[in-house]
Amino acid sequence: MTQTLTSPKVKVDRKWQQFIGGKFEDGGSERELFNPATGKVLCKVQEGTKASAEKAIIAARKAFDQGPWPKMSAFERSQFLFKIADAIDAHQDELAELETLNGGKPLRESKYDMADAANCFRYYAGLITKPSGQAIDVPAPSVTTVVREPIGVCGQIIPWNYPLLMAAWKLAPALAAGNTCVLKPSEYTPLTAIRLAEILKELELPEGVVNVVLGAGPAVGAPIAESNLVDKIAFTGSVKTGKAIAQMALGNLKKVTLELGGKSPMVVFSDFDIDTAVDYALFAIYCNAGQVCSAGSRMVVEENIYDKFIAKMIERSKKIVVGPGFDQETEMGPLVSEAQKKRVLEYIEIGKKEGAKLEVGGDVPQGAKYENGYYINPTIFSNVKPDMRIVQEEIFGPVVVIQKFRTEEEAIALANGTNFGLAGAVFSNDLTRAHRVVRAIKSGITWVNGYHSTYNECPWGGYKQSGWGRELGTFGLEGYTEVKQININLDPQPVSWFA
Active site (annotated) includes residue 259: yes
Total residues found in the chain within this entry: 499
Nearest to 60, CA basis, from 150, 145, 164: 150
Active site (annotated) includes residue 198: no
Q: Looking at 207, 293, 394, 471, which residue is catalytic?
A: 293
On whether the CB atoms of residues 414 and 405 are closer than 8 A, the answer is yes
DSSP strands (E only) in 164-288: 180-184, 210-212, 232-236, 255-259, 265-268
Q: Looking at 226, 259, 302, 394, which residue is catalytic?
A: 259
On whether the CB atoms of residues 49 and 35 are closer than 8 A, the answer is no
Alpha carbon distance 413, 397 (integer Å): 24
Report which residue type is found at 293: C
Strands 255-259 and 232-236, by their bridges, are parallel
For residue 141, is the peptide bond before it cis, meaning its omega torsion is within 30 degrees of 0?
yes
Report which residue type is found at 189: T
Q: Which residues on adjacent β-strands are paired with residue 404?
A: 301
Give the other-Cβ count within 10 Å of 481's Cβ. Answer: 21
- Three-state SS for 42? strand
Alpha carbon distance 262, 267 (integer Å): 15
Just list the catalytic residues: 259, 293
